[in-house]
Structure 1
Amino acid sequence: MGKLLIVTIDGPAGVGKSTMAKRLARELGIPYLDTGAMFRSVAWKLGEGSWEWDEDKLKSELASFEYTLSGIGEESILSLNGTPIGNEVRTEEVGMWASNMATLPVVRSFLKEAQQSLGARFSLVAEGRDMGTVIFPEAPRKFFLDASVEERAARRFHQLEQMGKPADLEELKEQIAKRDHQDRNRAVAPLKAADDAVTIDTTELDKEQVFATLVQEMQK
């Protein structure tokens, strides 16, 4: 078996990480790992307010969680206890719950081990908040995508509009700014670019331009 390839793509909420990570994974013929979905699934499974539980209770609940991964690129399937993680974790509310969960060392430690375990078995394009800084610091290719709060809110607004879900643009801006502040300023593994990551500001770029930049960097 050849050496496994790990590519990391980090960045704040709504910057287009998922779309780019899936496409790049397909281009490389390897699985895509959505680590944000792992935090969301913990929050969704345990429910509102679970981030306020004591550490022993959280550890006990997390001990029953097992993640598996199959497929390639957009067809990659991340499952929790044998059940694929779906759109039930993709709401703005669960996103805020996940951000709360991400401040807890016990949750981060558990998911770090789960993510590294998957990375030890598969080549991956791993997408998240601290893939290049904490989870896979030795990854040979690291990217950090960013964009303005206004642009990210607008993208999310149009996405929800296309899904037929009503949304308020100003409220989305506030939610994204709040998550940014929490993610960038948390004591454990704050959101930031790895020192050796290639940072791409996507505010003025379309999807094809961002993807072309990723591929160009991979070919170096």
Structure 2
Amino acid sequence: MGKPLIVTIDGPAGVGKSTMAKQLARHLSIPYLDTGAMFRAIAWKLGEGAWDWDEARIQAELDDMDFGLSGVGEDSVLSMNSTPIGNEVRTEQVGMWASNIATLPVIRTFLKTAQQGLGNQVSLVAEGRDMGTVVFPNAPYKFFLDASVDERANRRFKQLSDMGKPADLNELKELIAKRDHQDRNRSVAPLMAADDAITIDTTEMNKAQVFTALKDRVA
């Protein structure tokens, strides 16, 4: 059995990483790893304010958490403690909680180990914010997707509207800009493109164009 194939897709919130990672994973017939959902699941499990706990308390909670991955492409299932992670972690509030706990070294160390463990077992398309820079620095294929704040807010607004969920466009822009600042300026694993990553600005591109740009570069 050969070494697992790892493809990384990093980028800021709302840039379309999940959609592209799922499509690429389906194209390659391998699992899709939503690392953002791992942060969100932990944040949801710990609850609001957990980022202010002492490290020992957080570590004790993490010691009781275990992640699993099964399926292929958009049918990949990420689970925590054998329970599939669902839409309960997909709210804007939990997203901000996740961004807050992501600044903590104890959280990042735990998830880096968990993510690398999954990558040692199976080939996968790993989507997140530091996959190519920190977690899988030796991955043969690395991508960094980006887009303007306005475009990302518009996409998120449409997504929420299609789901029948009310949203305020200006509020979404503020939240995305705030999260960008926090993610790009944190002291631990700040959001950035790996030196050897292919950066794709998707602001003026549709989904088909972005997917083509990805799959054409993966052998």
Q: TM-score under structure 2 normalisation?
A: 0.99
Q: CA shift at 1:217, angstroms?
A: 1.1
Q: Residue 203 of structure 1 corresponds to which residue in structure 2?
A: 203
**Letter in structure 1 aligned against 2:52:** E
Q: Residue 34 of structure 1 corresponds to which residue in structure 2?
A: 34
- Residues of 1 paired with 2:199 and 2:101: CA distance? 26
Alignment of 1:186-197 (within 5 A): 186-197=186-197
Q: What is the number of equivalent residue pairs in this alignment?
A: 219
**Letter in structure 2 aligned against 1:208:** A
| Residues 2-49 of structure 1 deviation map (CA, whole Å, 9 limit, x = unaligned) | 121000000000000000000000000000000000000000001000
Alignment of 1:115-134 (within 5 A): 115-134=115-134
Unmatched 5+ stretches in structure 2: none
Which stretches of structure 1, 4 residues or longer, exceed 4 Å deviation after superposition?
A: none
Provide the aligned C-alpha RMSD in A. 0.4
Q: CA shift at 1:216, angstroms?
A: 1.0
Q: Residue 23 of structure 1 corresponds to which residue in structure 2?
A: 23
Q: TM-score under structure 1 normalisation?
A: 0.99
Alignment of 1:43-82 (within 5 A): 43-82=43-82
Q: Residue 182 of structure 1 corresponds to which residue in structure 2?
A: 182
Q: CA shift at 1:172, angstroms?
A: 0.2
Q: Secondary structure at the match of 1:157?
A: helix
Q: Secondary structure at the match of 1:217?
A: coil
**Letter in structure 1 aligned against 2:214:** L
Percent identity for Structure 1 against Structure 2: 74
Q: Secondary structure at the match of 1:174?
A: helix
- Residues of 2 paired with 1:51 and 1:22: CA distance? 30
Q: CA shift at 1:152, angstroms?
A: 0.2
Alignment of 1:96-135 (within 5 A): 96-135=96-135
**Letter in structure 2 aligned against 1:170:** N
